[in-house]
Chains A and B, each alone.
Chain A
């Protein structure tokens, strides 16, 4: 388990990194946290021409709140470590779903090194960050010698472990729109911090009359990439999330999944679990919303 020889470059800027990517024409990879890349090299599952270390590139990390009201945005640099997301007050207040999900990643050592951008590019279908970014409607900014562009998370993957990037492109930041008012997250793992059997993230808005809209349901670990459960979301729009609404919507989620069979669970079991976990996540969403509403009303009455 010792990596074969490779060339190592330490990039000093994004421009230098993308120039190197272009020169190696697909034979190089960027080294950020290295939590997936290094084991793959050591196990000789990958043989690379070069590693381009971007850990010293200035300005690639950082969490910033931008804009206000409906124009509110949060920008997170691609090199931002999980541990920074976990500890950030900006993330806690502006992206609470992400703050909750990041705690489910690996263990402390992994979270000290692993990065948000690295997770998105790795594209593990069971990973938390791609699912969180999908449900929150994030956009990924990528740079290359040819310029820059933004990719919506919903279009970021071509397949499992396959981010829709050209070989000369590099992820530099992830931008999140204003966070939904309500959210819930549920994940089943064999062990703490293990790759999930499945995960469910839900968000939504609830009117003062109790009607729900803009529901988003995302599923992890049950397809070759995190997937939105669109039929279920549509079924719930305008409802009060009654038990019947939730049950019927949850049943629709099986249409959006194509679960694998692996050491963690069979496809059959995952198919059984998805509607159950979606139902429970939605019930939690509803319960959290009514708790928030109760709190608001109490405050108003004072």
Chain B
């Protein structure tokens, strides 16, 4: 089933076949360039970087959710042989500025988040001291010898409780309450429409806290050469240029002194977006010691020290008329940002796409960002979209049950049609193009929805009952524009950039600030560049993630890289191609219009004997010898490109579950995903991206949960023993189907694809369980959904039935 489905003829749409006729490389599943080195064990992750005289850093962290630091005594640690340097909060305050924020919550004050806690710590795991020693084990020994006197303070772990009167305040110097900021968008008169509606459903939906959990934890190696005034940073990041900017701000040195490079990054998922305390600490130690300092986050630290994701509480209201037409939606939601702000803050996209793929004019959304005594929350693949999709899509099914309608028919009734697009949704976003309904029908057909709908919900011989659940979605990919970002105070652009440089071997070096985080940008960039130039795919070599060699860019996040980079690649490749043709034609004594680039040479369009190798053409350019008098030497182009608007991906998922009504145990027997990311540059990569994100979405739906003890405020699931991330054997069978509606707002019609799989699993599974257990009348309002939560939902349904009977 994992093939790309060809679309029937329809306006605004081209099939993949037509696309591949137009293109030589775009649309083909070129094997990944990255695979060779990764599969051979030749990847170069942060811990693979080793320097002579390198030292190792360990960090001492606050064991309490909220505590005043009364005293720190480092004397015994310093006496330990092999310990080289210790930093405390006081020194950090003298030597650095607080960490800056890249995507501030609009209206939020800047919090004084230093790399080490000052007078108090506001989350379990916040760095309090750091030690550098000749080995990591020794540095950890030294941490154990540091005596820190804490005064535990009252704490608050629940985001709703944090906003109540009398809750312990986290940052009284900066904030009068634990509300970091709130903001909203609205259109029409939702309250009046709700008042007049035939049916109004309201529900509080809780989305659990999870961790992005990349295979490579964070890490940094800092090297300071004082004579050269050069701080060289190797780090596992999605955004080398933004790390450079933030480090310059915290270390109070010029950006010209800092070089940041990320070679292979073992997954980011939004968690590696910008500077963390340990990056500043390693730099300070390296600058003090004049020796390379390495810190590799261990998995225990990762669960507390790297940003978490998702946790939010949505008070969603869906109003409809008696036929089931949606007349208004409102969503007031609270996101839990934890103990400090993080580079990207908590999810912001719940506000943008909260009305889903549906036609509704009257709607309002309000977002409240609450501070709690937990690890800061940052971006995580999906960034608010899985959360609000769960709230809305579960309510859509609940409405269908209430009205006695088919959930599929209810979605059909309300979905935006291709001819409605472009469509401005109540949040102000503009959906560019798409055929949402078609993905819904394809998903339904794939699981034989109609036949299932007509059959009764009776147990199979194994005692389990089958259910099918749908979830439709629209996903924002990329950013609307730099102006849009400026309005929200974001400290980065919406563009991407590349530099193309000819070399004497006749191949092209492509430089990008986008680091290679598993998203296959090296392969996709080379495909596009080679496509435009006409050269072989292998003639383009991509160099990723080094600020010293790449043009200033934004980075690998928000499903935005290709959306912007496709344009930059094209804009850089066109003048590169033209100059190559001019120089090649001059060498051949023909007119540039007669010349074409093919493989590794320039040749005459019609005369195969007239040919010159690219190595010759490029050497002429590099030497400035044998070129026309009016040409400048060199062959190098750089382009920065900002797309005119965000592109919106879309689709529908269908989950088939089998549930045991006696125990609540269930399994997802099939998961069908119909998805459109516009023109797929490399269908194999698209499939890998969708599949990988689906697994993360299924994990968060079915078991992953960072739970904090209600009394002590301690993280209960802070290790791989307790955190139930799915492993290969736990992933249900996934079937992928795609449509390809090109986006009118991007180069080549691409849409983003990196995050989409995280969006629909929660709602699709909840809806499937409700369908299977229709005779019991269960409801789900929280993620994750475990066998125990199904059993509890069954108990609640029984109690309410008995209550009603009594």
Point out residues on A near B: beta carbons under 8 Å: 1-5, 43-44, 107, 188, 190-195, 262-263, 265-266, 269, 272-273, 276-277
Q: Evaluate contact between A2 and B730: CB separation under 8 angstroms.
A: no
CB contacts (< 8 Å) of B722 on chain A: these are: 262-263
Within 8 A of A (CB), among B687-724: 703, 705, 707, 716-717, 719, 721-724
Between A191, A193, A265, A277, the greatest number of chain B beta carbons within 10 A of the residue's beta carbon is seen for A191
Listed stretches B135-143, B190-198, B351-359; interface member: B135-143
CB contacts (< 8 Å) of B723 on chain A: these are: 263
Q: Evaluate contact between B300 and A276: CB separation under 8 angstroms.
A: no
Per-residue interface assignment for chain B, residues 332 to 374, with 1 indicating a CB less than 8 Å from any chain A CB and 0 otherwise? 0000000000000000000000000000000000000000000
B799 at the interface (CB under 8 A from A): no
Which of these, B144, B717, B788, contacts A265 with CB under 8 Å?
Answer: B788
With known contacts A3-B137, A43-B300, A263-B717, A191–B788 Cβ distance under 8 A? no
Q: Evaluate contact between B141 and A194: CB separation under 8 angstroms.
A: no
CB contacts (< 8 Å) of A107 on chain B: these are: 727
Point out residues on B near A: beta carbons under 8 Å: 135-137, 140-141, 144, 298-301, 662-663, 665, 703, 705, 707, 716-717, 719, 721-724, 726-727, 729-730, 786-788, 791-792
CB contacts (< 8 Å) of B729 on chain A: these are: 191-193
With known contacts A1-B299, A4-B140, A4-B141, A195–B721 Cβ distance under 8 A? yes
Give min CB distance, B122 to chain A, whole Å. Answer: 24
Which of these, A43, A190, A195, A269, contacts B791 with CB under 8 Å?
Answer: A269
Q: Evaluate contact between B140 and A2: CB separation under 8 angstroms.
A: yes
Q: Evaluate contact between B703 and A191: CB separation under 8 angstroms.
A: yes
Q: Evaluate contact between A194 and B140: CB separation under 8 angstroms.
A: no
Give min CB distance, B57 to chain A, whole Å. Answer: 12
Q: Evaluate contact between A1 and B300: CB separation under 8 angstroms.
A: yes
Q: Evaluate contact between B716 and A44: CB separation under 8 angstroms.
A: no
20 A-B pairs within 8 Å (CB atoms) are namely A1-B301, A4-B137, A4-B141, A4-B144, A5-B141, A43-B719, A107-B727, A190-B703, A190-B724, A191-B727, A191-B730, A192-B727, A193-B729, A263-B705, A263-B717, A263-B722, A265-B788, A269-B792, A272-B663, A272-B791
Which of these, B137, B299, B787, contacts A2 with CB under 8 Å?
Answer: B137
CB contacts (< 8 Å) of B786 on chain A: these are: 190
Q: DSSP majority for the B interface?
A: loop
6 closest pairs, A vs B, by CB?
A2-B137, A1-B298, A192-B729, A263-B722, A269-B788, A191-B730
Give the nearest-CB partner of A44 in chain B.
B140
Between B136, B137, B144, B719, the greatest number of chain A beta carbons within 10 A of the residue's beta carbon is seen for B137
With known contacts A4-B141, A44-B140, A266-B788, A191–B724 Cβ distance under 8 A? yes
Give min CB distance, A111 to chain B, whole Å. Answer: 14
Give min CB distance, A255 to chain B, whole Å. Answer: 20
Give min CB distance, B135 to chain A, whole Å. Answer: 8
Between A4, A44, A188, A263, the greatest number of chain B beta carbons within 10 A of the residue's beta carbon is seen for A263
With known contacts A195-B721, A263-B716, A265-B788, A188–B140 Cβ distance under 8 A? no
Give min CB distance, B725 to chain A, whole Å. Answer: 8
Between A2, A5, A107, A276, the greatest number of chain B beta carbons within 10 A of the residue's beta carbon is seen for A2
| Bound form: Cα–Cα A131–B373 in Å | 40
CB contacts (< 8 Å) of B703 on chain A: these are: 190-191
CB contacts (< 8 Å) of B300 on chain A: these are: 1, 43
CB contacts (< 8 Å) of B707 on chain A: these are: 263
| Bound form: Cα–Cα A277–B664 in Å | 12
CB contacts (< 8 Å) of B705 on chain A: these are: 263
CB contacts (< 8 Å) of A263 on chain B: these are: 705, 707, 716-717, 722-724
Give min CB distance, A239 to chain B, whole Å. Answer: 23
| Bound form: Cα–Cα A44–B141 in Å | 10
Give min CB distance, A196 to chain B, whole Å. Answer: 13
Give min CB distance, A36 to chain B, whole Å. Answer: 10
| Bound form: Cα–Cα A263–B724 in Å | 9
Q: Evaluate contact between A191 and B726: CB separation under 8 angstroms.
A: yes
CB contacts (< 8 Å) of B717 on chain A: these are: 263
Give min CB distance, A66 to chain B, whole Å. Answer: 37
| Bound form: Cα–Cα A265–B136 in Å | 36
Which of these, A3, A44, A188, A262, contacts B665 with CB under 8 Å?
Answer: A188
CB contacts (< 8 Å) of A191 on chain B: these are: 703, 724, 726-727, 729-730
| Bound form: Cα–Cα A272–B663 in Å | 8
CB contacts (< 8 Å) of B792 on chain A: these are: 269
| Bound form: Cα–Cα A3–B298 in Å | 12
| Bound form: Cα–Cα A251–B782 in Å | 31
CB contacts (< 8 Å) of A44 on chain B: these are: 140, 144
Give min CB distance, B183 to chain A, whole Å. Answer: 35
Give min CB distance, B313 to chain A, whole Å. Answer: 21
Q: Evaluate contact between B724 and A194: CB separation under 8 angstroms.
A: yes
Give min CB distance, A190 to chain B, whole Å. Answer: 5
| Bound form: Cα–Cα A157–B698 in Å | 39
Give the nearest-CB partner of A107 in chain B.
B727
| Bound form: Cα–Cα A61–B721 in Å | 28
| Bound form: Cα–Cα A188–B299 in Å | 27
Q: Evaluate contact between B663 and A273: CB separation under 8 angstroms.
A: yes
Give min CB distance, A106 to chain B, whole Å. Answer: 11
A190-B703, A195-B721 are known; give 14 further A-B pairs, CB within 8 A.
Answer: A3-B137, A188-B665, A188-B787, A191-B703, A191-B724, A191-B729, A192-B727, A262-B722, A263-B707, A263-B717, A263-B724, A265-B788, A272-B663, A272-B791
| Bound form: Cα–Cα A188–B662 in Å | 14
| Bound form: Cα–Cα A194–B717 in Å | 14
CB contacts (< 8 Å) of A265 on chain B: these are: 788
CB contacts (< 8 Å) of A3 on chain B: these are: 137
| Bound form: Cα–Cα A44–B301 in Å | 13
| Bound form: Cα–Cα A3–B792 in Å | 42
| Bound form: Cα–Cα A269–B664 in Å | 10
CB contacts (< 8 Å) of A1 on chain B: these are: 298-301
Q: Evaluate contact between B716 and A5: CB separation under 8 angstroms.
A: no
CB contacts (< 8 Å) of A272 on chain B: these are: 663, 791
CB contacts (< 8 Å) of A194 on chain B: these are: 724
CB contacts (< 8 Å) of A2 on chain B: these are: 135-137, 140
Q: Evaluate contact between A5 and B137: CB separation under 8 angstroms.
A: yes
CB contacts (< 8 Å) of B663 on chain A: these are: 188, 272-273, 276-277
Give the nearest-CB partner of B297 in chain A.
A1
| Bound form: Cα–Cα A273–B795 in Å | 13
CB contacts (< 8 Å) of B787 on chain A: these are: 188
Give min CB distance, A270 to chain B, whole Å. Answer: 9
Give min CB distance, A292 to chain B, whole Å. Answer: 22
CB contacts (< 8 Å) of A195 on chain B: these are: 721
Give the nearest-CB partner of A190 in chain B.
B724
| Bound form: Cα–Cα A191–B144 in Å | 35
Q: Evaluate contact between B140 and A192: CB separation under 8 angstroms.
A: no
Give min CB distance, B187 to chain A, whole Å. Answer: 42
Give the nearest-CB partner of A277 in chain B.
B663
Give min CB distance, B140 to chain A, whole Å. Answer: 6
| Bound form: Cα–Cα A172–B418 in Å | 73
Give min CB distance, B658 to chain A, whole Å. Answer: 15
| Bound form: Cα–Cα A263–B707 in Å | 8
| Bound form: Cα–Cα A276–B750 in Å | 52
| Bound form: Cα–Cα A273–B664 in Å | 10
Give the nearest-CB partner of B135 in chain A.
A2
CB contacts (< 8 Å) of A4 on chain B: these are: 137, 140-141, 144
Give min CB distance, A261 to chain B, whole Å. Answer: 10
| Bound form: Cα–Cα A264–B437 in Å | 39
Q: Evaluate contact between B662 and A276: CB separation under 8 angstroms.
A: yes
Give min CB distance, A110 to chain B, whole Å. Answer: 12
| Bound form: Cα–Cα A191–B729 in Å | 8
| Bound form: Cα–Cα A192–B731 in Å | 10
Give the nearest-CB partner of B296 in chain A.
A1
| Bound form: Cα–Cα A191–B703 in Å | 9
CB contacts (< 8 Å) of B716 on chain A: these are: 263
| Bound form: Cα–Cα A277–B716 in Å | 27
| Bound form: Cα–Cα A194–B721 in Å | 8
| Bound form: Cα–Cα A190–B137 in Å | 34
Between A43, A190, A194, A277, the greatest number of chain B beta carbons within 10 A of the residue's beta carbon is seen for A190
| Bound form: Cα–Cα A3–B300 in Å | 13
